[in-house]
Amino acid sequence: MGYFDPEPKRRVEDFFDMEEEIDELKRGLGASKLVVVSGLRRYGKTSLILTTLNDMGASYVFLDCRLLPSGMISASDILYILEGELSSKPWFRELAEAVEGVQVGGFGVRFRRRDYRTLVRVLESLEGRILVFDEAQELRRSRYRFDYLLAYLYDHVGVRVILSGSQVGLMYKFLRVNDPSAPLYGRPLYNVRLKPLSPDRAREFLVRGFEQEGVEPPLSAIEEALELFDGIIGWLAYFGYSYTRLGLKDPRAVLGAAARLAYEELEHALRVFAAARPRYAAVLKVVAERGEARWSEILRFVEAELGRIPRNTLSNILRNLSDMGLLSKTEGGYRIPDPVLRHAVRRYLRLTAT
């Protein structure tokens, strides 16, 4: 495996060293029972968490919350992904005998009942381990208050929890750490924020990645890729993969393919807005086309395209898009932080779904 392999990295050997971030995460795990790893999609959160935990030789349980069904989530849905993950852990098989309602066999681990009490009991049995909820903002769609369960673990169970999220605003809304009436209020948590690579680090990532593949692209291709993909490690890896494995050597062509992918993800994300989708699309459109757009410019464009829109409705749309990490606020207004998404919106997004 090399840097350009598309799966999240798990081993230090395959991991382009983000030494500072690894140290941060380790420090966080030493300092607090709740660590939050945030950063937009493809900034390398999953890779950082898995590589760090493996490097520490930590005993952990990793739950990918994207595997949860759409709509409201129940305890049973979480138990279902726990079954899959715990089946692969030899230590849990030994421990499982003692947990009521758990069956262990050649099939792996099965929970006889899939209710809230079982979920609590299983989580209690993870004493001493690290529990990771990847893409934790999905837990906000829970039928019961998952934040209470996290607060219970925090207060009464010796497990450390890592929450990671790409939709950073949504994740913090779910955690409500600054809301005195929320269960997690006042519990210190440790934040690890991932950022894009600096231009120098990004260049180093590409150069070393190509070396691993024994390929030497022209310098101009590297420079262009750095321009197009900023320092987003996931897109840089995608470029390297496309170049070396798919023979797609023109960075602009790779940008097109990447934008197609970003566009599919965007359409999926916009589905929740149903009938309001055209307004969301119009906001993204004007921001993408201008590069950066002020509130008043956005308002003018949306009204010209779709007719009058109440001011507070527009504010809500801007807040939701920001919470999802699709927009970010700047001094001059709003922009789309991901250059590939910016390109995707310009090129593929239509105001009305086709």
Ligand X SMILES: Nc1ncnc2c1ncn2[C@@H]1O[C@H](COP(=O)(O)OP(=O)(O)O)[C@@H](O)[C@H]1O
Q: Which residues bind ligand X (CB under 6 A)?
A: 3, 5-9, 15-16, 18, 39, 41-47, 166, 233-234, 237
Least gap, CB of 116 to ligand X (angstroms)? 29
DSSP character for 125?
A: T
Number of residues that bind Mg ion (CB under 5 A): 1
- Determine the interface stretch with Mg ion among 22-30, 39-47, 241-249, 280-288 (rule: CB under 5 A): 39-47
From the list Mg ion, ligand X, none, pick the one residue 53 interacts with, judged by a Cβ distance below 5 to 8 Å according to partner type: none
**Token pair for 150:** 């996290």
From the list Mg ion, ligand X, none, pick the one residue 339 interacts with, judged by a Cβ distance below 5 to 8 Å according to partner type: none
* Helix residue ranges per DSSP H, the chain: 19-31, 45-56, 75-87, 90-96, 116-124, 146-156, 168-175, 199-213, 219-229, 233-245, 251-270, 277-290, 295-306, 311-323, 339-348
Question: What is the CA 83 to chain-centroid distance, rounded?
Answer: 22
From the list Mg ion, ligand X, none, pick the one residue 168 interacts with, judged by a Cβ distance below 5 to 8 Å according to partner type: none
Least gap, CB of 22 to Mg ion (angstroms)? 16
Among 24, 29, 34, 46, binds Mg ion (CB under 5 A): 46
Task: Give every CB contact of residue 294 below 8 A, 6+ residues apart in sequence.
Answer: 332, 333, 334
From the list ligand X, Mg ion, none, pick the one residue 41 interacts with, judged by a Cβ distance below 5 to 8 Å according to partner type: ligand X
Least gap, CB of 7 to ligand X (angstroms)? 6
Of residues 254, 281, 253, 251, the one with CA closest to residue 266: 281
CA distance linking residue 161 with residue 154, whole number of Å: 8
User: In terms of CB distance, is 145 or 195 closer to ligand X?
Assistant: 195
User: In terms of CB distance, is 50 or 349 closer to Mg ion?
Assistant: 50
User: In terms of CB distance, is 21 or 83 closer to ligand X?
Assistant: 21
From the list Mg ion, ligand X, none, pick the one residue 30 interacts with, judged by a Cβ distance below 5 to 8 Å according to partner type: none
Task: Give every CB contact of residue 346 below 8 A, 6+ residues apart in sequence.
Answer: 285, 288, 289
Report which residue's Cβ sits closest to Mg ion. 46
Residue 328 main-chain phi, psi, to 5 deg: -135, 150
Measure Cα distances from 4 to 88, 223, 232, 254, 303 in Å: 27, 17, 13, 14, 44
- Determine the interface stretch with Mg ion among 40-48, 108-116, 324-332, 344-352 (rule: CB under 5 A): 40-48
- Determine the interface stretch with Mg ion among 43-51, 137-145, 148-156, 340-348 (rule: CB under 5 A): 43-51
Query: Does 244 help bind Mg ion (rule: CB under 5 A)?
Result: no
Please report the DSSP string for 283-325 in residue order.
Answer: HHHHHHHHSSB-HHHHHHHHHHHH----HHHHHHHHHHHHHTT
Least gap, CB of 43 to ligand X (angstroms)? 4
User: In terms of CB distance, is 29 or 40 closer to ligand X?
Assistant: 40
**Token pair for 310:** 């109440």
From the list Mg ion, ligand X, none, pick the one residue 334 interacts with, judged by a Cβ distance below 5 to 8 Å according to partner type: none
Measure Cα distances from 182 to 1, 7, 52, 65, 147 in Å: 44, 36, 30, 22, 8
Provide the binding-site residues for Mg ion, judged by CB under 5 A: 46
